[in-house]
Structure 1
Amino acid sequence: MSEERRVHLSRSAPDAYKTLDAFSKTVGRIAGEAGIDDRLKELVQIHASQLNGCAFCVRVHVDRAVKGGLDADLIAQLPTWRESGVFTDRERAALELAEAFTFIHDGGVADEVYDHVGGILSEDEYVALSWILVSINAFNRIAIAGRYPVPPRHAAPA
Structure 2
Amino acid sequence: MQRLDYFSLAMPAFHHLLAVDQYCKKSSVDPTILRLVQIYASQINGCAFCVDIHCKEAKIAGERELRIYHVPIWEESPLFSEKEKAAFEWTKAVTLINQGPVPEELFQKMKQHFSEQEIVDLNMQIAFINLFNRFAATFKSVPGARDQALGLGKANLS
With normalisation by structure 2, the TM-score equals 0.86
Q: Counterparts in 2 of 1:112-127, with a 5 A limit? A: 112-127=105-120
Match of 1:72 in 2: 65
Contact 2:37 2:91 in 1 (8 A): yes
User: 11, 14, 18: which is aligned to 1:14?
Assistant: 11
> C-alpha separation between the residues in 2 aligned to 1:92 and 1:41?
12
Distance (whole Å) between structure 2 residues aligned to residue 22 and residue 88 of structure 1? 30
What residue in structure 2 maps to residue 55 of structure 1? 48
- Give the count of matched residue pairs: 147
8 A Cα contact 1:93 1:121, kept in partner: no
Larger radius of gyration: 1
| Structure 2 residue 85 is matched with structure 1 residue 85 | no
Moved more, 101-110 or 65-74: 101-110
CA RMSD of aligned residues (A): 1.7
- The runs of 5 or more residues in structure 1 that have no matched partner are none
**Structure with larger RCO (C-alpha < 8 A, sep 6+):** 2
Provide the TM-score with structure 1 as the length reference. Answer: 0.86
Shift of 1:68: 0.6
- Say if 2:41 and 2:129, in contact at 8 Å, map to a contact too: yes
Which blocks of at least 5 consecutive residues in structure 2 are unaligned?
146-156
Structure-1 separation of matches of 2:5 and 2:103:
35
Runs of 4 or more above 3 Å deviation: 151-154
